[in-house]
Amino acid sequence: MTEKRNITEEDVLLKIRIPDAGVEVKKPPTTAAVPWGPRLILDGTDIVLRRLTMLPNPQAPLQIVIDGNDATISDMGKVVATGKMEEPPTWCDMLMSDGTTRVGDVFPSNMPTECYLLLGGGGCFAYDTGRTCRYCGFYVEAARGMPSPPPTGARPSQERAIEAVALAAKNGWRGCIQIVGGLLPPKLRGEWFTDTVEMIMTQFREFLGDDDILAELQIAVDNAPPNDLGEFHKWKGFGISSIEIDTEVLDPDWFKAICPAKSKRLWDEGQEAAAEVFGRGRGSSNLFVLGLEPMAGMLEGVEERVSKGVYVMPSPFTAHPYAPMAGMGAPSLEWFREAYEKIIDIYLKYGDTFDIPLTDDDRWGYTRRGRSLYAWDDDMTRRLQEMGKLPPGLPSQYGIEPVSWV
């Protein structure tokens, strides 16, 4: 077994480059199928690599060769890392109540740390009104394969998804459940919104039947702010523990250009109200797309939000093939490295103003120490390891192992 070691800057850079790697499979892994695709755990650091394209690309400088459960990563022919294909959690092979379906086949996620329960029926107010977020091609793509989309406000039947998540949670899965959907139209951000959240949570609680487990999960509603921010108190009563209201862009002028259907003021106010009700940090989060706007305005926006108790999560920009910004370039690796460094500086500056200081937060969900979803998670771990706040190696990522580290 490779000895555990701390994460280095080179490890973080390597992870940033992973989406551009070519992948050659010499012998397929023996691990069972998982809904989130193959993931690779690096030897020594435990960094998780996802978004492996699984396609050969001999022209890519970075190459991953998969040979059974072993993987080797090389850069222009020089081996830079080795790793193992991730073993799926045992609950993936459990059977649902129908006696035939594997939980892993229904678990609603493309990553094992988070899963999605749907709010509405497949539409997006921004797309439907011709003002889709410029980086987003999700609804353009969805509309191509959807001859008759569900009517606005239709609530999808997702009993099986809810059952799968509940079964997983009862058998060790921990992470964040996002109650999510395309941007709701303003008319559905009132009573309809609260009723839907209540309906989903009622079903989930019935399947789960264990309030102790419920309390360990991060359960976040991810959409526009409700018309009446006072609704957050009701949602908390349903078992919601967090609100995610994504501005995607932080500089106000770039926000208007890139997300013309959203209101920065309403989104910001919603985040601040959520921090009041659900707690600073984990209780209010804001995903944004890193690389769409220049550094200075982005950092200013991050600091302003974090100072208000909002946990800001950078998701690196890659052009979606159906988005208006398809084909447009992302910044350089060095830019991402610098951005991560400075964002983490901001976190460390304000982290102890959160409900639980960020450097000590081991709760499941976004703010958990030692997460390895995005490269900036690993960069945060690198900093915490430097500070002596985390040991070498990473903790369990989604609860299948007893938590015995630190």
Partner 1 sequence: MAEKRKATKKDEFLKIRLLAEGVRYEVEGQPQWFTVNKFTDVVVVFDNCDMVAETRENPRSRLTVSIDGHDVTISEMGEVLDTGTLQPTAPWRNALMSDGTKVDYAVFGTNGTRFIDTFNRCFAYDSGKGCKFCGAGHGYYAEGGPSLSLSGILQRAERPIEATVVAIEHGLRNVLLIGGAAPPEQRDQFTTDLFEGIMNRFRACLDDDLLSQVAFTPSVYPPSDFGQFHKWKALSINAVEMDCQVMDPAYFKAICPGRGDQKHWFEAQEAAVEVFGRNGGCAASVILGIEPMDGMLAGVEERVSKGVKITPLMYKPFPPSPMTAMQPATAEWYQEAFGKISEIFVRYGLPAMDGAERQSRLAEQTIYV
Binding site for partner 1 (CB under 8 A): 58-59, 61, 134, 251, 253-254, 256-257, 260, 291, 293-296, 319, 324-335, 338
In whole angstroms, the minimum distance from the beta carbon of 249 to partner 1 comes to 9
Beta carbons of 356 and 282 less than 8 angstroms apart = yes
In whole angstroms, the minimum distance from the beta carbon of 252 to partner 1 comes to 9
Q: Which is nearer to partner 1, 266 or 333 (CB)?
A: 333
In whole angstroms, the minimum distance from the beta carbon of 291 to partner 1 comes to 8
Paired tokens of 355:
């409900």
Q: Which is nearer to partner 1, 254 or 267 (CB)?
A: 254
Angle formed at CA 242 by CA 241 and CA 244, multiple of 5 degrees: 160
In whole angstroms, the minimum distance from the beta carbon of 103 to partner 1 comes to 39
DSSP letters, 207-261, are HH--HHHHHHSEEEEESSPPSSTTHHHHHHHHT--EEE---B--SHHHHHHH-TT
Q: Which is nearer to partner 1, 172 or 260 (CB)?
A: 260
Q: Phi, psi (5° rounding) for residue 220?
A: -120, 135
Residues 188-215 as b/e (b if ≥16 CB within 10 A, e otherwise) read bbeebbbebbbebbebbbebbeeeebbe
Q: Which is nearer to partner 1, 137 or 182 (CB)?
A: 137
In whole angstroms, the minimum distance from the beta carbon of 337 to partner 1 comes to 10
Q: Which is nearer to partner 1, 229 or 295 (CB)?
A: 295
Q: Which is nearer to partner 1, 49 or 323 (CB)?
A: 323
Beta carbons of 282 and 325 less than 8 angstroms apart = no
Strand 78-85 versus strand 176-180 pairing type:
unpaired
Q: Which is nearer to partner 1, 62 or 168 (CB)?
A: 62
Indicate if the alpha-carbon torsion angle 369, 374, 379, 385 is positive or negative. Answer: positive
Cβ-Cβ contacts under 8 Å for 118 (sequence gap 6 or more): 156, 158, 161, 179, 180, 181
Compute the distance between CA of residue 280 and CA of residue 297 in angstroms, rounded to an integer: 23
Q: Which is nearer to partner 1, 266 or 330 (CB)?
A: 330
Q: Which is nearer to partner 1, 19 or 357 (CB)?
A: 19
Q: Which is nearer to partner 1, 59 or 157 (CB)?
A: 59
In whole angstroms, the minimum distance from the beta carbon of 259 to partner 1 comes to 10
- Of the candidates 262, 83, 243, the residue with the CA atom closest to the CA atom of residue 179: 243
Beta carbons of 69 and 29 less than 8 angstroms apart = yes
Query: Three-state SS for 286?
Result: strand
Compute the distance between CA of residue 205 and CA of residue 137 in angstroms, rounded to an integer: 33
In whole angstroms, the minimum distance from the beta carbon of 246 to partner 1 comes to 19
Paired tokens of 279:
């707690």
In whole angstroms, the minimum distance from the beta carbon of 81 to partner 1 comes to 18
In whole angstroms, the minimum distance from the beta carbon of 326 to partner 1 comes to 8
Beta carbons of 196 and 119 less than 8 angstroms apart = yes
In whole angstroms, the minimum distance from the beta carbon of 60 to partner 1 comes to 8
Name the residue type at position 151: P
